[in-house]
Amino acid sequence: MTAQLAAAQAPNATQAPVPYTGTAGPWLWMSVAAATIAAAANIAALAGIGDVYARETASFVNQAIAQDIVSLTIVCPAIIVSALLARRGSMTAYLLWLGAMSFTVYNYVIYTLSIHAGALFLPWVAVLGLSLFALTGGLAALDWHAVKARFAAAPRRTTGWFLIVVAVLFTGLWLKDIIPALLSGQTPAGARDLGLPSSPVHVLDLAFYLPATFAAGLGLLRDRKLGYATAPALLIFLALTAMPIMLTPFIASARGHTPGWAILAPMAAITVASLTIVIRLLSAARKQRRPLPPTAVSA
């Protein structure tokens, strides 16, 4: 019996490395709590748009409605499902979960700091806090070596260059709005349209997301574990971010405002490219099989 038990517990030569250490469990459950609160707040916001967003500009309200719809129908279910699958040892689910959590942190920084405080302010703060701790803990629990081992056959150069190009293009786009406005003593259009002193998107992108995207792309080109571990999450973040942007013109049109249809084509291209590349990455990872590293244990 002892020999049989030892054999059952021994690493399987065909078993893939588990992508995270045993400390990941609490962060996964924390994200489920965040997604549940977020979904309830999304429903409340959509049911009481006039009350929740009453003091925001029309452009802001259109974007907020689109964010609520995407969060309720795509992001919150994705967090819950991916967290449950990650608990069972799925590396694919865990990396997708990191991307969805990144989007949630990003989105709720904007909600809590840019929208006038109202009935949903405290739920939004709760979602932000839970999501931020879950994302931070989830990244700390990630076994970077195990992830890199699974991506030996992945298209790292294509992915790396795509991330670098995206980072450079969006940095240039935001600076094109910011620098001329600052030189002329005006508020950048990205902030002015939302009735804000500065754009939270500019701040979050230039300070965090775009440098992280560039670093991940460079890491892939240099075959570093940082790139392999973060690239799928950043690609998912990019696709999720583009979805409400694409939905916003339809919301504007339905509410009798002038829609910005020109944004649809580039955002659709970015979404399709991001999802195609992440599918290729994760497909290559699923095909790769390596022995379990001694320190990798499931949550």
Q: Is residue 297 in a domain?
A: no
The verdict on residue 90 lying in a domain is: yes
Is residue 293 assigned to a domain?
A: no
Q: Cα separation of 183 and 155, whole Å?
A: 42
Residue ranges of E strands in the chain:
none
pLDDT score recorded for residue 287? 59
3 found inside a domain: no
Sole residue written with tokens 């279910």: 77
What residues in the chain have per-residue pLDDT under 70? 1-22, 286-299
**Cα gap 95→91, rounded to integer Å:** 6
CA distances from 70 to 49, 90, 104, 217 (A): 15, 24, 11, 27
Contact 95, 19 (CB under 8 A): yes
Identify the pLDDT of residue 22. Answer: 60
The torsion angles phi and psi of 279, rounded to 5 degrees, stand at: -65, -40
Contact present, 46 and 65 (Cβ < 8 Å): yes
73 assigned to some structural domain? yes
Looking at residue 14, its pLDDT comes to: 38
pTM of the model: 0.85
Residue 4 maps to a domain: no
Q: What is the pLDDT of residue 286?
A: 67
* Total domains, the chain: 1
Per-residue pLDDT at 15: 43
Structural domain of residue 86, as residue ranges?
12-287
- Residue 194 in any domain: the answer is yes
Question: What does the pLDDT read at residue 20?
Answer: 64
